[in-house]
């Protein structure tokens, strides 16, 4: 017992040390958060003078929330320093909450001041950005004639459909550059008039327009290179497709392979003769798709040929298994008249009906059927498995009803659990059959 008392005193001392450290941590966090809020409030005043109130609205709203949460933290701290602060667990929980609130304040102010710093940095770089937008606009305007010549050269070689994504790029780029120069002028005037927020909006719009114009002009050059690559690839793919088509004709014929061979032939036949403007991207895509479909059909046919095809013996085994499940369910239900509910009886009736349909589809006994067609064998096996599944469900529901009936007292026995009316005396003779499942 002496050792137990020593351990208790040691645990209590460790808890006191932990609580003292937690209190110091909460105090430091409160002081730091309060100083951070005051510094951020000062930064907000400078930012409003430089950017305008609208640009600093989010930070202003964040500071309101911060003050509310810090007030809660100081209130909790005062409670912990009252003459009777309450149980130790409550005091400890308050200190933990104070630390959490201060950490939240730091996270919110970090996020908002970081975004505001970026806006201030951009505002201070406004003259530099304006000069860059003007220089980029002049450079891209000088490149417009070359882009138009490239589009005209492409129109001589390729079909109109191939140029649909680039034929208007030069005109669109010229319009965007005109808008960019106009927006730069607006930004300069708004900045000189003392409206930094409006100047920032106009400057951002001009910069985006210049970037978009540069992308449009670059895509013209990229298209010409990609079109040449597509033509080269198309020539190689045509030769490969013709060899592939000849090899496909040697494969065992099936309807699917015949259809895909026809699709590849149509794709090859759709290629225009030499000297005719074409769309190499469209023809390349169609040939690739036709090749992929034919490859998939051949692969599937080969796998089907090499797969283990369900034999007649497999069919017989599936039917025997279905009959065994059905017999067990029948015997279980017949051995407990009046105990079985409608759900189990319905499943049994469905299983028997499907088994009758299976017999009609066989056209004779399972032992004498050959069934050379693979699809027919697979269909019969699927039907047999469904018969067995329904019979198993019926047996499961019957077991549930029997267990529920047995759990009732002699004076309480009435309708079975499944809802059916009891119409005769019960027997436990077939209990062993249920145990097999």
Please check the confidence at residue 289 and state whether its pLDDT lies above 80: yes
For residues 113 and 51, membership in a common domain is answered with yes
Q: In this model, does residue 101 exceed pLDDT 70? A: yes
Give the closest residue to 127 by CA, choosing from 53, 187, 180.
187
Residue 190's pLDDT is 82
Based on the fold, state whether residues 63 and 42 are members of the same structural domain.
yes
Q: Among 89, 124, 159, where does a domain finish?
A: 124
Boundary residue ending a domain (101, 124, 147): 124
> Average pLDDT for residues 119-144, to the nearest whole number?
83
pLDDT computed for residue 430 by the predictor: 36
Count: domains in the chain: 4
Least confident of 15-19, 71-75, 191-195, 240-244: 15-19
- Asked if pLDDT for residue 290 goes beyond 80, the answer is yes
Same domain, 319 and 277: no
Question: pLDDT (tens digit, 9 = 90+) per residue, 27-58?
Answer: 899 899 888 888 888 877 777 766 666 667 77
Using only C-alpha atoms, the chain has a radius of gyration, in whole angstroms, of 42
Question: What is the rounded average pLDDT of the residues 321-336?
Answer: 88
Q: Are residues 238 and 336 in the same domain?
A: no
* Res. 366: pLDDT tops 60: no
Q: What is the pLDDT of residue 307?
A: 53
Lowest average pLDDT, out of 81-95, 192-206, 285-299, 332-346, goes to 192-206
Burial of 250 (0-12, 13-18, 19+ CB in 10 A): exposed
Higher pLDDT, 369 or 348: 348
Of the candidates 187, 64, 177, the one whose C-alpha atom is nearest the C-alpha of residue 123 is 187
Report whether pLDDT(211) > 90.
yes
The pLDDT value given to residue 55: 67
- Is there a single domain that holds both residue 222 and residue 237? no
Mean pLDDT of 264-273: 83
Burial class (CB in 10 A: 0-12, 13-18, 19+), 101: buried
Task: Summarize pLDDT for 10-34 with one digit per residue, the tens.
Answer: 455 566 777 788 888 888 998 998 8
Q: At residue 423, does pLDDT exceed 50?
A: no
% the chain with pLDDT above 90: 18
How far is the first Cα of the chain from the last one, in angstroms, to the nearest whole number? 58
Angstrom distance (rounded) from CA 403 to CA 416: 10
- Using CA atoms, how far residue 435 sits from 27, 328, 430, in Å, is 70, 11, 9
Q: Which tokens go with 94?
A: 């308050």
**Same domain, residue pair 57 and 104:** yes
Q: Which of 276, 306, 336 is the last residue of a domain?
A: 306
Q: Are residues 248 and 159 in the same domain?
A: no
Domain assignment of residue 191, given as a range: 132-228
Q: Are residues 143 and 105 in the same domain?
A: no
Whether the predicted pLDDT of 7 surpasses 80: no
3-state per-residue secondary structure call for the chain: CHHHHHHHHHHHHHHHHHHHHHHHHHHHHHHHHHHHHHHHHHHHHHHHHHHCCHHHHHHHHHHHHHHHHHHHHHHHHHHHCCCCCCCHHHHHHHHHHHHHHHHHHHHHHHHHHHHHHHHHHHHHCHHHHHHHHHHHHHHHHHHHHHHHHHHHHHHHHECHHHHCCCCCHHHHHHHHHHHHHHHHHHHHHHHHCCCHHHHHHHHHHHHHHHHHHHHHHHHHHHHHHHHHHHHHHHHHHHHHHHHHHHHHCCCCCCHHHHHHHHHHHHHHHCCCCCCCCECHHHHHHHHHHHHHHHHHHHHHHHHHHHCCCCCHHHHHHHHHHHHHHHHHHHHHHHCCCCCCCHHHHHHHHHHHHHHHHHHHHHCCCHHHCCCCCHHHHHHHHHHHHHHHHHHHHHHHHHHHHHHHHHHCCCCCCCCCCCCCCCCCCCCCCCHHHHHHC
Is residue 145 very low, low, confident or very high in pLDDT (cuts 50, 70, 90)?
A: very high
Tokens, residue 112: 């908002």
Give the pLDDT of residue 173.
Answer: 94
CA distances from 270 to 232, 248, 267, 286, 388 (A): 17, 20, 5, 10, 54
Name the band, by pLDDT with cuts 50, 70 and 90, for residue 3. very low
What does pLDDT average to over the chain?
80
Do 291 and 365 share a domain, yes or no? Answer: no
């Amino acid at each position: 017992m002496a050792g137990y008392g020593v351990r208790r005193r040691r645990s209590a001392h460790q808890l006191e040390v932990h609580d003292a450290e937690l209190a110091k941590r909460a105090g430091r966090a409160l002081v730091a958060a309060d100083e951070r809020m005051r510094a951020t409030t000062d930064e907000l005043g400078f930012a409003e003078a430089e950017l305008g109130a609208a640009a600093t609205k989010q930070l202003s709203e964040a500071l309101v929330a911060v003050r509310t949460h810090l007030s809660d933290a100081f209130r909790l701290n005062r409670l912990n320093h009252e003459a009777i602060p309450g149980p130790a667990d409550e005091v400890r929980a308050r200190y933990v909450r104070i630390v959490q609130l201060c950490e939240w304040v730091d996270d919110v102010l970090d996020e908002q001041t970081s975004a505001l710093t970026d806006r201030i940095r951009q505002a201070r770089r406004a003259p530099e950005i304006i000069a860059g937008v003007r220089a980029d606009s002049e450079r891209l305007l000088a490149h417009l004639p070359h882009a138009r010549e490239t589009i005209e050269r492409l129109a001589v070689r390729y079909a109109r459909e191939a140029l649909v994504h680039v034929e208007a790029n030069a005109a669109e780029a010229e319009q965007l550059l005109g808008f960019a120069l106009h927006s730069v002028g607006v930004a300069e005037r708004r900045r000189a008039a003392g409206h930094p927020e409006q100047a920032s909006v106009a400057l951002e719009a001009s910069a985006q327009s210049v970037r978009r114009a540069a992308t449009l002009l670059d895509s013209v050059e990229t298209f010409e290179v990609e079109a040449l690559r597509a033509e080269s690839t198309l020539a190689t793919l045509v030769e490969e497709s013709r060899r592939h088509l000849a090899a496909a004709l040697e494969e065992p014929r099936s309807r699917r392979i015949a259809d895909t061979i026809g699709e590849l032939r149509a794709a090859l036949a759709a290629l225009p003769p030499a000297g005719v403007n074409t769309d190499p991207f469209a023809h390349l895509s169609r040939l690739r798709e036709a090749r992929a479909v034919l490859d998939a059909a051949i692969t599937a046919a080969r796998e089907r040929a090499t797969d283990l095809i369900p034999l007649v013996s497999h069919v017989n085994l599936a039917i025997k298994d279905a009959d065994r499940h059905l017999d067990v369910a029948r015997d279980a239900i017949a051995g407990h008249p009046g105990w079985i509910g409608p759900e189990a009886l319905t499943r049994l009736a469905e299983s028997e009906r499907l088994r009758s349909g299976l017999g009609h589809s066989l056209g004779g006994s399972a032992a004498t059927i050959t069934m050379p067609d693979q699809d027919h064998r697979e269909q019969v096996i699927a039907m047999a498995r469904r018969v067995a599944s329904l019979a198993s469900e019926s047996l499961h529901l019957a077991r549930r009803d029997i267990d529920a009936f047995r759990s009732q007292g002699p004076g309480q026995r009435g309708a079975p659990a499944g809802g059916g009316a009891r119409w005769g005396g019960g027997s436990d003779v077939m209990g062993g059959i249920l145990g097999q499942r």
